[in-house]
Copies of this chain bind each other. A is one copy, B any other.
């Protein structure tokens, strides 16, 4: 097996993983019966969990969504009681977003459910295989990730 063969195989495997059917399957596991979260709002929930507190713009940049989408999905999560909006302490144009306690608990439960999928799938690997794969997978995804330019919807200027 040459390096190019490996690259082709990895490309094919990634392609399969990205197929909607498989993506949705993973998201179904993740979502399960969680109220108020779906495939589209989860990144907002998860991203905010990582950031702790953030403005809409910061969160949008973190997860690669537009501000307009982020604010809309944040509203949905707010209605579901998972997210709270507060006035920003120093900039009164901005909004401080944070998860509620329910939101924190929800995202934790969801992550554990997803984690279990992979723990199960890797259960019969050796400890060395598991560690090596995890390390290399991080490296690979970091290496191919999109430049983290958030598509900020320019109001109008040319």
A-side residues, CB < 8 A to B, are: 1, 3-4, 6-11, 13-26, 43, 46, 63-65, 111, 114-123, 125, 127, 129-134, 136-138, 140-141, 143-146, 148
Contacts and interface: CB of A to CB of B under 8 A. Distances in A.
A9 B117 contact: no
Contact of A6 (B15, B122, B148): B122
A121 B134 contact: no
Given A16-B141, A25-B145, A4 B129 contact: no
Q: Summarize A's interface: helix, strand, loop or mixed.
A: helix
B18 A134 contact: no
Contact of A115 (B4, B24, B130): B4
B14 A118 contact: yes
How many copies of this chain sit in the oligomeric assembly?
2
A134 B21 contact: no
B7 A46 contact: no
A129 B122 contact: no
A144 B118 contact: yes
A138 B6 CA distance: 11
Contact of A11 (B4, B118, B129, B146): B118
B140 A10 contact: no
Contact of A118 (B10, B26, B123, B148): B10
Nearest to A146: B25
Contact of A132 (B8, B14, B129, B148): B129
B24 A146 contact: yes
A146 B22 contact: yes
